[in-house]
Amino acid sequence: MKLVFYSGGLEKENSSLDRAFVELMGKKNPVVTFIPSSSYLSEQEFKNFVKHYSKFKISRFIHFPVDVPFDKILFQEVMRSDAIHLGGGNTFYFLNSLRKAKLLPQLRTFAKKGGVLTGLSAGAIMMTENIEMAGYPEFDRDENTVNISNLSSLNLVDYLFFPHFKNSARYDIVFKKYSKLHSKIIYACPDGAGIVVNGDELRFIGKCYAFAEGHKFSIN
């Protein structure tokens, strides 16, 4: 599988992750689909997305909101694209929309068949087993505005991902505690950092941290 986990942050901070993403596609003039977490004002996000990735000589993009009905013709093009990017936003709302549109298995198949799947913040959390991380820590979490209880998501990797991590004691306390109670490793990335998965290879970009069995580890 080819996956890129973006935490967030400014364009400049993510240049290494962007380069890794383009390399993963390994193709001239690829087609990239942008799936926003919500259609609300997503046109502006799409515009920013296009502006950003046009710098990498990508010129073919699809805007594909999933919380409004879509037709199968455009959907087929999405599934044929070289990469799909899952945008940031409210993770609960995003998961609910993906599930309602029956897109979770389709995206899983897309990734398993070699399509490049990338996610930013909520989109990155979506690629893990469940979106529990969106509800942590209590002082910095997404609101479960759609009141969903089934938090299972794409389950493409065997770790959890926490974006916008701030290297501070109060975050450490929460994640050490969480990792004591759960078996999965949490990779916590500050803005500008992230993870690139290429088959069996796992590459950390920027200063990342891991929480496992109640301990914190620094990566890079």
Residues that bind other proteins (CB under 8 A): 31, 39-41, 43-44, 46-47, 50, 54, 59-63, 65, 68-69, 71-74, 77, 80-81, 143, 145
Nearer to other proteins, 61 or 161 (CB): 61
Tell which residue, 88, 93, 92, 215, has the closest CA to residue 164.
88
Nearer to other proteins, 89 or 119 (CB): 89
Which H or E run includes 42? Answer: helix 42-54
Give the angle subtended at the CA of 156 by the CAs of 198 and 186, to the nearest 5°: 90
Tell which residue, 131, 142, 146, has the closest CA to residue 100.
146
Nearer to other proteins, 79 or 210 (CB): 79
Please, what is the minimum distance in Å from the beta carbon of residue 60 to other proteins? 5
Please, what is the minimum distance in Å from the beta carbon of residue 142 to other proteins? 11
- Give the distance from CA 165 to its chain's centroid: 14
2 CB-contact burial (10 Å; exposed 0-12 / middle 13-18 / buried 19+)? buried
Please, what is the minimum distance in Å from the beta carbon of residue 162 to other proteins? 22
Tell me the residue type at 42: S
Please, what is the minimum distance in Å from the beta carbon of residue 129 to other proteins? 27
Name the percent of the chain in helix, strand, coil, to the closest 5: 35, 25, 40
Please, what is the minimum distance in Å from the beta carbon of residue 73 to other proteins? 5
Report cis status (omega within 30 of 0) of the bond before 137.
Answer: yes
Nearer to other proteins, 51 or 180 (CB): 51
Nearer to other proteins, 145 or 155 (CB): 145
